[in-house]
Every structure is written in C-alpha cells, then in structure tokens.
C-alpha cells in the first residue's frame, strides 16, 4: 500500500468567488488554497461545467500519491485520471460516502503550483 500525503480540502459553494481565481479551461473558480496555511480550497462551478455532480456538490479531501494508477486499483472511480494543469494528474474516488481526490505530481509541486504560505503560520 502506498503512502497518502494530505494536500487539501475542497469545498463546493454557490457563493460568488473572486474573478482573479477563475479558470476558464476548467470552468470553475477556485480560491483559498494559496491564501492561508490551512490548505482549504473553495470552488464554484460554471453551470456548463461537465464534472460529475458529486464533485460539484460534495466536499472532498485530496491526497498526493506516488502512483495514481496503482492507487486507483479496486476503487470506485468517480473521475478517471486527467490533467487539470501541466505536471499534475488527478482522479476522484468514492470510499463509502467520502469523496477523495488523488493527485500525482510529475515534478515538485512548488514548480507546478508555487504556494509560499501553505502549512506555515
């Protein structure tokens, strides 16, 4: 069994989020992850976002894994592996009622998404 390393908590919201946090390619706003050391991300999805409804409605916990394909073996897959940004692959699974995001970075995360204040008070 491989190690799971906590990454963030994702919380869907209908609240209006800052325009500077909009990602047109993903059709969503995502904010908060870089703003505090607590790794909490708030998400608001466009009406035409094609992600599964459970991802748009249920909070999730994200973990980094070394081998996403191995981590998915035998799991109930909600969203198969895809790359939302260069250098990272993500997938979502359902474990009981828990929505889990698995992430694999192809290079150090600081190179993919620099975040100077994560986990630092």
**Model confidence pLDDT, tens digit, residues 5-37:** 999 999 999 999 999 889 998 999 999 888 888
Q: What's the pLDDT at 36?
A: 81
Q: What is the pLDDT of residues 79-103, one digit of tens each?
A: 999 998 889 999 999 999 999 999 9
Tell me the average pLDDT across 93-116.
89
- The DSSP string of 46-61 is -TT--S-HHHHHS-EE
CA distance 94 to 13: 20
What domains does the chain contain, in order, with CATH numbers? 5-112 (3.10.180.10)
Structure tokens at 56: 């748009």
Q: Is the pLDDT of residue 121 over 60?
A: no
Q: What is the pLDDT of residues 54-71, one digit of tens each?
A: 999 999 999 999 999 999
């Amino acid at each position: 069994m491989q190690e799971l390393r906590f990454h963030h908590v994702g919380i869907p919201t209908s609240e209006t989020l800052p325009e500077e946090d909009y990602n047109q390619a993903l059709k969503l706003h995502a904010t908060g992850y870089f703003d505090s050391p607590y790794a909490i991300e708030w998400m608001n999805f466009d009406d035409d976002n094609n992600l599964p409804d459970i991802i748009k409605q249920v909070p999730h916990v994200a973990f980094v894994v070394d081998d996403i394909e191995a981590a998915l073996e035998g799991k109930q897959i909600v969203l198969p592996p895809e790359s939302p940004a260069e250098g990272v692959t993500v997938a979502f699974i359902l474990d009981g009622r828990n929505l889990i995001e698995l992430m694999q970075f192809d290079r150090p995360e600081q190179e993919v998404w620099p975040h100077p204040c994560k986990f630092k008070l």
